Amino acid sequence: MSLYPAALENLIRQLSRLPGIGPKTAERLALHLLRAPEEQCQALAAGITQMKTTIGLCSRCGGLSDQSLCRICRNPSRDHGVLCVVEQPADMVALEKSDAFKGCYHILHGALSPMDGVGPDQIRLKELFLRVGQEGVTEVVLATGTSLEGEATAAYIAEQLKDLDIKLTRIASGVPVGGDLKFIDQVTLKRAMETRHAF
């Protein structure tokens, strides 16, 4: 039963396709946009279209970029000999925000997951091994997730690169800073204990 005019019902339907936006929220957002200034709606619509047309992947690292090479790959002051391998562009952004890494990235756009049909050819692993061979890489930091798939992907990469003369590291997993031990799950605590280091 369509109670709003067709164009509004259509917008509600389009908005409710977004993740985490149910029909009620979509209705609220659509009614908000209807009342919002023309410029704001135009800016949002144009923003969506523009984002889709201008953003592609960096030809080297696979990060999001509006140019052939992304800002980090173009930056001569970054250490191009250290590659940090992550699953998604958002992971790279999270690491950049932490300001703890001055090397370059390699974004896989996924993690190995045979159950979902994601094998080595479905993610950007070939490109990683090519870069390691060509770019004079001295260290590969495995920063895939700590999920089963992330761990499997890290293990796979480590196995493939083990015979090369490069340093292979894995980001630490353990108790989050400020985390209360009694609220941390057992697997994390076990890992934190196993990978304990000299104080």
In the complex, which residues of this chain contact a second copy (CB under 8 A)? 1, 3-8, 10-11, 14-15, 17-21, 25, 27-34, 38, 40-52, 54-55, 64-66, 70, 89-90, 93, 96-97
Minimum CB–partner distance for residue 89 and a second copy (Å): 7
Element (H, E) at 140: strand 139-142
Cβ–Cβ under 8 Å, residues 93 and 63:
no
How far apart are CB 141 and a second copy at their closest, in Å? 18
Nearer to a second copy, 7 or 164 (CB): 7
Q: What's the closest the beta carbon of residue 113 comes to a second copy, in angstroms?
A: 16
CA distances to 84, 136, 150, 162, 166 from 132, in Å:
11, 7, 20, 12, 9
Residue 10 or 147 with smaller CB distance to a second copy: 10
Alpha-carbon dihedral sign for residues 120, 121, 124, 127: positive
DSSP assignment, residue 55?
-
Q: Of the two residues 27 and 151, which places its CB atom closer to a second copy in the complex?
A: 27
Min separation Cβ 69 and a second copy, Å: 12
CA angle 160, 110, 76 (to 5 degrees): 75
Nearest residue (CB) to a second copy, 99 versus 163: 99
